Amino acid sequence: MGQEVPTSVDPDGFLPNLAAADPAPTCFVTDPDENFYSKWVDVISNCIGNYRVKAIVAFGPDSSCHYTLSGDQWRHTWYTPGSFDGLVRC
């Protein structure tokens, strides 16, 4: 867990400590985007194996942990300030 901050800064009260996180394999493709109302990241697995991964959002809600099979695709959407910060194993 990262540095403790007020929940007005980050919803769970902690900034992510990505240096300590286990990054997702490079066989994952991420495609972040946003519009006026929402922000999202599409996650696509081009991996041979299966992995548990989650999207990290700086100053916003992280995704839940997804068990992702080869060829799977999923989207994490949020409606608060924040930006996609990376994909990590969970």
Q: Kindly state the tokens that stand for 32.
A: 């972040």
**Is residue 44 classed as helix, strand or coil in its secondary structure?**
strand
Question: Distance (Å, rounded) from C-alpha 11 to C-alpha 38?
Answer: 16
Q: Which of 18-27, 34-43, 53-62, 71-80 has the lowest mean pLDDT?
A: 18-27
Match 């769970």 to its residue by tokens.
12
Can you tell me the distance from the alpha carbon of 9 to that of 14, in angstroms, rounded to the nearest whole number? 9
Domains of the chain, earliest start first: 28-89 (2.60.40)
31 Cβ partners below 8 Å, 6+ apart? 41, 42, 44
Per-residue pLDDT tens for 3-16? 555 555 555 555 55
> CB under 8 Å to 51, separation ≥6 — which residues?
24, 25, 28, 45, 67, 68, 89
Instruction: Summarize pLDDT for 24-51 with one digit per residue, the tens.
Output: 999 999 999 988 789 999 999 999 999 9
